[in-house]
Structure 1
Amino acid sequence: MIVVAGEALIDLVPQDAAHDSPADGRGTDAGSTPGRTPALPALAPRLGGGPYNTAVALGRLGSPTAFCSRVSLDAFGEALLASLRAADVDVSYVQRGAEPTTLAVASIGADGSAGYSFYVDGTADRLFAVPRRIPDGVRAMSFGTCSLVLEPGASAYEELMRREAARGVFTALDPNIRSGLIADADAYRARFKSWLPSVALLKLSEEDARWLGGTPEEWLASGPAAVVVTRGGDGLSVFTRDGGEVSVPGVPVDVVDTIGAGDTVNAALLHSLAARDALSARAAGGLGGDAWAEVLRFAARAAALTCSRAGAEPPYARELAGGAGADR
């Protein structure tokens, strides 16, 4: 089983169908007409959060998966859990709380890229507590995003990551930088470096890499067996401790938005490594170039499908069956 630890939240996504609404009921286009309220986009709630999306994607791909988090008892929290169950994700490691669900307001650029502002004060996922025990049958754990930034939950997730890595669990990390949530950038960068000895697979975007200010070679020297860097539509690359580097191109697709694409990559990487019995630092670091190219192509195809539809809607295994790089 693969356990994904981190936040579940609600993305509020702008809708193309949003229209101006008259302030005075006279029914003409608002524009800059005096007396009219400025138009605001309609926002639709979408289930989300980087770790949550990763767990759903793993479940849809057919990997035995569990989600480890703290989720609100409110209606959003119930919807989040229902969708996890629908993807066959085990929710027995989910803690519950009366606090509200975190909200992330998305803005979509002309190229489909997504930016976010967050409403996180007093929300349930910030109060996550370290579980006493993770079962021995767990093969890997995945961490990242807001859950490793917002205290006091961040320290709890960090403790869990270090503890499980120390007992031999394959750990994957996607920092998925949200700079607006990071009060002290230098302190976060130092903390990120302190995690690397406990990380077997580091995956991050080239934007994250620039913000963190390091290189794959530097990160590999600190602990990970492999570092995967994503470049959006230009594809992704893996770097390994033996100096190996493998790159594959992106898969052309009509992009609706990029919400959840990186999370889908996380899931596809773990799913493919599991299929190759490579969920250990030694096995992942020892994969040959051809095997890594297959893993990366599978991840690129999965991410492209996610980008082809609105919101974080990762693909099912049947949608990826039979293509180049498909899971064996």
Structure 2
Amino acid sequence: MSAPTLVVGEALVDIVSTGSKTTRNANGKPKATPGGSPANVAVGLARLGVPTELVTRFGTDPYGDQLGAHLFGNGVQLSPGSVEPGFRTSTATATLDGAGVASYQFDITWEPPALSLSRGCPAVHTGSIATVLEPGATAIRDFLKTLVDQPVTVTLDPNARPTITPDPVSTWAAVRELAALSDLVKLSDEDCEFLRPGQSPESIAVELLSAPRTQCVVITRGSEGALGISRDGRIDVTAPRIDVVDTVGAGDSFMAALIAGLNGQDLLGATRLAGLTSQNLQTVVDYAVKAAAITCTRHGADPPTAAEHAATWGA
């Protein structure tokens, strides 16, 4: 069995509401579902058949028990120290607008357990709140610096959260530093608008690709699909037409499928995307767009399995 891909970042529960009305379960309590961008990516990877280990932090309270059961049930391995008795599990209140697009308010504390790289680990992924909220953000940045000479591919999804980091200038500076330590950076068009207002996605990608290590930038564009820019060229992928239920977790499903696709092309590990061609990128981004589309047809952060992807879109 190959060594697992390592995902580092927050795991929390999403409390979903529509406008002023909170969604409730059969017992009348607010409906809480497992979430957190990195945790969603870890589940997405595992469902797509990629062995995955998650470094996170949550408690042994009811929300934490729910998270643990969800992660374990989907085949995600938890790093030692990720579950801490007495720690209060973090939450995010997701409010859906009329189109099913979510906005978030967070109640979160982030400080990961000790970070280390297992022998043979092909890739490390991180992003979202975990990369900007102290003291955990410094721990992640220092960890990525130790990977500079290691045979491992690093991927980053900043997943900007203006409610956590309202200043785009300082947030962009932090993103640039982490991006320079990463082989692939994924952004959404909303990230681009917040972090670099007035700049085109293409110019942002070129800016990030100026770092010697960064080989590829992928930018998602919601219903319009995604574009990928690498040192070999640019590709555009159109999103399939679907009936959207909500967009919760769609970007995380995309990210998981992007990593899984690169794994399937044997581009992770020591090569660090060095052999990535425009044809490879087209195939991988198309796979990721279709994974995100499946998630958008379902409630909440519910990434597809490899079998569901194949059944919906073909092998």
Cα distance between partner residues in 2 of 1:171 and 1:95 = 21
Provide closer, same or farther for how the CA distance between residues 281 and 193 of structure 1 changes in structure 2, counting only shifts above 3 A.
farther
> Which amino acid in structure 1 is aligned with residue 111 of structure 2?
L
Cα distance between partner residues in 1 of 2:154 and 2:6 = 10
Deviation digits for residues 97-119 of structure 1 (CA, Å, limit 9, x no counterpart): 22211111111111211100111
Cα distance between partner residues in 1 of 2:218 and 2:313 = 19
Q: Does residue 1:224 correspond to 2:211, yes or no?
A: no
Query: How far off is 1:323 after superposition?
Result: 6.0
Paired residue for 1:10?
Answer: 13
Deviation digits for residues 136-177 of structure 1 (CA, Å, limit 9, x no counterpart): 121001000011121111111222222234423211000000
Which of residues 262, 272, 279 is equivalent to 2:261? 272
Moved more, 155-164 or 282-291: 282-291
Query: How far off is 1:210 after superposition?
Result: 2.2
Cα distance between partner residues in 2 of 1:167 and 1:6 = 20
Select the structure of larger CA radius of gyration. 1
TM-score, length-scaled by structure 1 = 0.85
Task: Say which SS state the counterpart of residue 236 (structure 2) adopts.
Answer: strand
Which of residues 233, 244, 247 is equivalent to 1:255? 244
Query: How far off is 1:89 after superposition?
Result: 1.1
Moved more, 88-97 or 309-318: 88-97
> Which amino acid in structure 1 is aligned with residue 5 of structure 2?
I
Provide closer, same or farther for how the CA distance between residues 146 and 283 of structure 1 changes in structure 2, counting only shifts above 3 A.
closer
Paired residue for 1:201?
Answer: 184
Paired residue for 1:107?
Answer: 95
Listed as ranges, the gaps of 5+ residues in structure 1 are: 21-40
Paired residue for 2:297?
Answer: 308
Which of residues 129, 135, 145 is equivalent to 2:113? 129
Instruction: After TM superposition, list the pairs within 5 Å mapping 1:282-297 onto structure 2.
Output: 282=271, 284-297=273-286
Aligned length: 299
- Contact 1:236/1:250 (<8 A) preserved: yes
Query: How far off is 1:65 after superposition?
Result: 0.6
Cα distance between partner residues in 1 of 2:291 and 2:97 = 21
Instruction: After TM superposition, list the pairs within 5 Å mapping 1:99-178 onto structure 2.
Output: 99-120=87-108, 123=109, 126-131=110-115, 133-178=116-161
**Identity across aligned pairs (percent)?**
36
- Contact 1:200/1:280 (<8 A) preserved: no
Query: How far off is 1:290 after superposition?
Result: 2.5
Query: How far off is 1:241 after superposition?
Result: 1.8
Which of residues 292, 308, 313 is equivalent to 1:319? 308
- Contact 1:298/1:324 (<8 A) preserved: no
Task: Say which SS state the counterpart of residue 219 (structure 2) adopts.
Answer: strand
Give the alignment's Cα RMSD to 1 decimal: 2.2
Query: How far off is 1:185 after superposition?
Result: 3.2
TM-score, length-scaled by structure 2 = 0.88
Cα distance between partner residues in 1 of 2:181 and 2:248 = 28
Paired residue for 1:181?
Answer: 164
- Contact 1:143/1:161 (<8 A) preserved: no
- Contact 2:18/2:96 (<8 A) preserved: no
Query: How far off is 1:291 after superposition?
Result: 2.3
Cα distance between partner residues in 2 of 1:19 and 1:177 = 24
